[in-house]
Chains A and B, each alone.
Chain A
Amino acid sequence: MTAIPELSPARSRRLPSALRGTLADPGVFIATVIVIIFVSVGLLAPFLPLQSPYLQGGQAFAPPSAEHWLGTDEFGRDLFSRVLFGIRQDALVGVIAVPIGALMGILLGLASGLNRILDAVLQRILDVSLAFSSLVMGIVVAAIVGAGIEAVLITVALVNVPLFGRLTRSAVRSQQVRDYVTAARVTGAGPIRVLVRHVLPNAVDALIVQAALSLSIAVFIEGAMSFVGIGVRPPEPSLGSLLRSSSSFLAIAPLYAIAPMVILTALVLCFNVIGDGLNRRLLRR
């Protein structure tokens, strides 16, 4: 019988307004702007008036100039163009692999809610996959499908399955004992309908927060895999592969390493800031 909850009714449960509210946080706002700029520039790279990222023959390690904003690399390729195309790889990993992994995880998590035996089996499988570090997973995948962007995509998807699976399952478990779920069951809703119409909408908050964090993981895994040489391979540019090739020339051309490093760090950081902001707004009420 405390007075305060009754006095300040819960904020609107409509999601869009909560997302808008999250953007009111200055940190989240700046992070979102940075992410939008990077991702759109990356995705639009082929359509921008840029030099080809593969064109060799210019001066190697040229300093920044009007022609080459970030200078050139060891083969005289335009670094600015290579960085933008590099972001493109990371953006593609985030846009393609994370949703695939998330979808698989959510489906497995919901399936856990249907049957106790199925639940036990699925959870042990997720336990095992959680036990692999993402880099070990990357090595296994690269050994099977060969190094390349495909290996990165598969790894990121696989790493995300248990994350989303666990989250969805815990939401299912906590929602299934709620009175409104019982009410839906006794007014005639079947188990799948209950999961999709009543349980899932109430798990969306947590899933959105996880999605933001997963994007950060995706960028990180791409960087790590490409850096050790099992991800995107030269001459294809990616933030990770740029870091790998620049590492030999740190003394001569520091900008070569700094540019992809700053962007990679910025992306990871921004996704984390957005995730935290969403977490504060959506989950900790």
Chain B
Amino acid sequence: MIPLLSVRDLVTTFHTSDGPVQAVRGVSFDLSAGETLAIVGESGSGKSVTATSLMNMVRAPGRIESGSITFKGVDVLAKSRDELRQMRGAAMSMIFQDPVAALDPLMRIRDQLGEAIRAHSAISASAANARAIELMHQVGIPDPEARLRDYPLAFSGGMSQRVMIAMALANDPEVIIADEPTTALDVTVQAQILDVLDTLNRDRGTAVILITHNLGVVAQLCQRVAVMYGGKIVETGPTAEVFANPQHPYTRDLLAATPKLSQPRDVPLVAISGRPPTMREPIIGCSYAPRDPLAVARCFVEAPALEPGEGARRHACWVSDGTTSLPPRPELGLEIDQAPRAAAPRGAALLQVADLTKQFDGPRARAFGRRQQVRAVDGVTFDVHQGETLGLVGESGCGKSTIAKLVLGVESPTGGSIRYAGQDSTVLSAAARRRYNRNVQIVFQNPMSALNPRRTVGSMLSEPLALQGMRGQELRDRRDALLELVGMDASIANRFPHEFSGGQRQRLVIARALAVDPQLIVCDEAVAALDVSLQAQIINLLKELQTRLGLSYLFIGHDLATVRHIADRIMVMYLGQIVEQGTAEQVTGNPQHPYTVSLLSAVPDPDPSALSRQRVILQGEVPTPLNPPSGCRFHTRCPIGPTMRTDREICRTEKPTADPEAEHGVACHFAGEFTLVGSGSSAPISADVPHGLGPVRQTTRKTLQ
């Protein structure tokens, strides 16, 4: 059978002013009609460039240097501009990462969809409208007739991505290329979008090429996977087989570095030392050899080709034989014992937050009217104890970053109190705040913007030390000690931030936070912007520093699987309120609040054994905090709430409260009714919910061929 799409020895190079960047270095693969293929890799692996090359859309200074792309027997690279235009959108179409940026803000949805429809078929405006409604229906946009007249502004991120998918579908393409389609979305919305793509593939037979860095998403959607590293495919095969028995050390390490809900918390995350190749220099031998402790001499001199293994599998590795499983990555002695510490007696409460509230001025509803109030944080109570890590999890807009700013003291709360070491620290004068910040520091999400591009590493670290009165040799010694503490060499003091990779920059941010000898560090999505292999490094570093320096962390994140790995206790936030709090085991193993249950079930897991588990797909998105739902704020989306059961008016009228003193507190009138049976892996959901109705859909992953 002739494959639908066939790529051979594709080489794409970017000719930048700083020299050539060889992004794709010889990629070959086939895609059959109706297949789902994932191209997975970290940033810089060449996966996105491969995707744009498929449609011959590589932009200058990039150029496809050699190789061939054959679509239904026709050479794509030999097509004229007009022929390419006819192919794009009609036979092959693409979905991008940021749906909000990909829609024209000044064009009604009707016109954008209409443009996509009429670009390839000469039909009337009313016929195009009808088709647009049909498409919107297909991708699950409620009330499409009314929404046609809306501008993209009126659509949330998830809805915008649905519009993008509708546009991509407009002309019944045979292939949809989705480039990180869910990366910018919340996990519950991600689950919805993956479901849409899955349905399309099943019902219409549209082939999907999914470009992603998230192994869990791959396992959820794709039958086949191609793992890219250093501009090449290093391993490919059926997803379940590859993930169960990886035959390339990179696949093995990537899997081991990914936090998984299906694994017990005490399985350590493997930190992959080193950094990916820069793609500027030629790579001699296997691109992964420098980071693989099991590499043999041949790996450094001769590049392995993609060899056939068992069945449909291929791998490019000298060490692997294609059938026996690779030995696990040996620990290099640097790695520390990652097992969660035995439940030591909790230290004294370091930070006590009670009934914390923060209101922001929203827009005015009408001229001269009063400003609406946005309650970003609404009555939050928690303690952080000496030496512990408190995880705070929630979707975007739930108020978790506002809590970070309040705890840091750079914003003042509207109500409630913050006590640090027994002292009231709620509203601080500038001088008192400076004293307070000697104890409370922050590590930001994005290490790019957290470092001043104009200052050297040395001067950045010296500033807080000099402000403490250190001078001369003492200052330099302390600065070098800080760099060493975060695993960096003291010789880098004269270099600028842009010379470092994301993971190294995050180490520098941590070093700066440590410069004032703090006791509590607020980690605001501290690993979210990093590649998986670097995430584990930073998590390990944070754990090591905690052990050595007795630090406490308030670890804020959106990914339950990651937070679960580092936190001793976890709080789950929804629309400014804590819905559930307890130990990490309690919250992730025995969740009691329906939101926590749904959140947990929406986290994609690469473990093949987790595929059989049932998932709850919450419908809709987080409501606006401008006008939060009455009573329980989750009731509009709740799988056991009043939209599902008419007798549950109490959820609309009465706000449930959790006992903040309880070890495991749940703010739900019907706590525990909707639970995951067992913990982690293969957990059916036990609640008698009608299937396929209302705000919840339960899906079981189709079995892989």
Contact = CB atoms under 8 A, between A and B. Distances in A.
Interface of A: 1-4, 6-14, 178-180, 182-191, 197-198, 201-202, 204
B23 A179 contact: no
Given A1-B180, A186-B410, A201-B454, A9 B499 contact: yes
Given A1-B213, A3-B23, A179-B446, A185 B410 contact: yes
Contacts of B180: 1
A3 B46 contact: yes
Interface string B448-474: 011111110000000110011000000
A11 B498 CA distance: 8
B102 to A, nearest CB: 13
A190 B430 CA distance: 9
Given A1-B48, A186-B437, A6 B451 contact: no
What secondary structure prevails in chain B residues at the interface with A? loop
A56 B468 CA distance: 70
29 contacts: A1-B43, A1-B48, A3-B47, A3-B49, A4-B21, A4-B23, A4-B49, A7-B14, A7-B21, A7-B279, A7-B280, A8-B14, A8-B16, A10-B453, A10-B498, A12-B498, A14-B496, A179-B444, A182-B408, A183-B450, A183-B509, A184-B463, A186-B408, A187-B512, A188-B434, A188-B468, A189-B463, A201-B455, A202-B454
Q: How large is the interface on B (under 10, 10 to 19, 20 to 34, 35 or more residues)?
A: 35 or more
B612 interface: no
Nearest to B454: A201
Contact of B97 (A1, A8, A12): A1
A239 B457 CA distance: 49
Nearest to A11: B18
Main secondary structure of the interface of A (DSSP, over half): helix
B444 A2 contact: no
Nearest to B443: A183
A198 B452 contact: yes
Contacts of B463: 184, 187, 189, 197
B699 to A, nearest CB: 26
Contacts of A13: 453-454, 496, 498
Which 7 residue pairs across A and B have the least CB separation, nearest first? A187-B464, A179-B450, A188-B467, A201-B454, A186-B437, A179-B444, A180-B452
A245 B466 CA distance: 62
B48 A186 contact: no
Given A6-B44, A8-B21, A13-B496, A186 B450 contact: no
Nearest to A178: B449
A183 B43 contact: no
B171 interface: no
Nearest to A13: B453
Contacts, number: 109
A179 B498 contact: no
A124 to B, nearest CB: 22
A188 B464 contact: yes
A201 B455 CA distance: 9
B99 to A, nearest CB: 14
Most buried by B among A3, A7, A186, A202: A3
A186 B463 CA distance: 12
Contact of A182 (B279, B440, B442, B498): B442
Interface string B506-542: 0001001101100000000000000000000000000
A180 to B, nearest CB: 4
Given A3-B48, A7-B21, A10-B453, A187 B516 contact: yes
B183 interface: yes
Nearest to A7: B21
Contacts of B441: 186-187
Contacts of A197: 455, 463
Residue of B21, B46, B446, B463 with most partner-chain A CB within 10 A: B463
A6 B409 CA distance: 33
B513 to A, nearest CB: 8
Contact of A186 (B179, B409, B451, B454): B409
B609 interface: no
A197 B467 CA distance: 13
A188 B49 contact: no
A12 B453 CA distance: 9
Given A182-B442, A187-B437, A2 B449 contact: no
B675 interface: no
B434 A7 contact: no
B44 A202 contact: no
Contact of B452 (A12, A14, A188, A202): A202
A182 to B, nearest CB: 6
Contacts of A188: 434, 437-438, 464, 467-468, 516
A108 B513 CA distance: 32
Contacts of B97: 1-2
A186 B458 CA distance: 18
Nearest to A175: B452
Contacts of A202: 452-454
Contact of B444 (A1, A4, A6, A183): A183
Given A13-B498, A183-B444, A201-B454, 20 more contacts: A1-B48, A3-B45, A3-B49, A4-B23, A6-B43, A7-B14, A8-B14, A8-B18, A9-B498, A12-B498, A185-B437, A186-B440, A186-B442, A188-B434, A188-B438, A188-B464, A188-B516, A190-B430, A191-B430, A201-B455
A187 B467 contact: yes
B278 interface: yes
Interface string B14-39: 10101001010000000000000000
Nearest to B184: A1
Interface in B614-631: none
A198 B463 CA distance: 11
A7 B14 CA distance: 9
Given A3-B44, A7-B278, A187 B453 contact: no
Contact of A183 (B183, B430, B512): B512
A202 B496 CA distance: 14
Contacts of A14: 496
Q: Which of B279, B454, B455 has the most CB of A within 10 A?
A: B454
Contact of B467 (A12, A182, A183, A189): A189
A179 B452 CA distance: 9
A176 B633 CA distance: 34
A3 B49 CA distance: 7
A182 B410 CA distance: 8
Contacts of A4: 14, 21, 23, 49, 62
Contacts of B468: 188
A179 B506 CA distance: 13
A94 B693 CA distance: 75
Contacts of A182: 408, 410, 442, 444
Nearest to B496: A13
Contacts of B516: 187-188
A183 B45 contact: no
Nearest to A197: B463
Given A188-B468, A197-B463, A179 B14 contact: no
B38 to A, nearest CB: 14
